[in-house]
Structure 1
Amino acid sequence: MGIPSSPVLKVLSEHFTLDMCVSRMLAGVQMYQNLLEVLSSRASGLEDLKADLRDLLNHINKLTEAQLGADYSDQNPISDLDSHLQDSYSVQVAVHMTLSQLRSFCHDLNRTFRVLITYRP
């Protein structure tokens, strides 16, 4: 259907650094923001979620600039999801799949934020 998988968030270690973690967090939020942009042109009721993702992205960007001094630009290519949305059924399936994946990704984000609160380099 053209819906990419969420970036994998792992426990911080010497092989999965804070920089890698933040990069994947941003990539995931940006990816879902882009997917919802496509889907919202075909389905209603996604505007509040788009606004929440935009706010989350702004907060993560502020955190990275303050803590890491890093700047992450949009890391996601434009999805080809739009070309797969031929009828209302495919739109409904895409919305369902995207929201299910987003829920799982947000659980991972929440877990990661809890770990980052106690993280000391």
Structure 2
Amino acid sequence: MTDQLDIFAAPVAPPYNGTPGFKEKGGTSELAAREVRSRAASVREAVLDAFIAAGPAGLTADEAAQIVSESILTTRPRCSELLLYKLIAKTGRTRKNASGKNATVMIAARYLGEEASHEPAG
């Protein structure tokens, strides 16, 4: 667990008043947001821990989902929140995800400036 970062002390105010967001009031995304609300903070912290552990090589959202043993549908929004909090950042690099599509590689913000020389082999 991260003992050095307080997610709610991030430099940007948490989106959606610190709760998972949704696209349409009364729609299925609002229902899903309500269902994940009780776990969102712990999943967000686990995802951040995964990015920190990955170091400058970074992760895609799908790789983070696999590491924290969560659905990509739960993990991708947590990555979006961490990007808004400026706790992770896009590197400009991509890697193939399970579907064969290019996915953005992100890193923990503490590794900004170090990522260029840390692409994993393979």
- Please say whether Structure 1 and Structure 2 have the same fold, judged by a TM-score greater than 0.5: no
- Which structure has greater helix proportion? 1
Q: Which has the higher strand share?
A: 2
Where relative contact order (Cα < 8 A, 6+ residues apart) is larger, the structure is 1
Tell me the TM-score range normalised by the shorter chain: under 0.3
Question: Could you tell me the TM-score, scaled by structure 1's length?
Answer: 0.27
TM-score (norm 2): 0.27
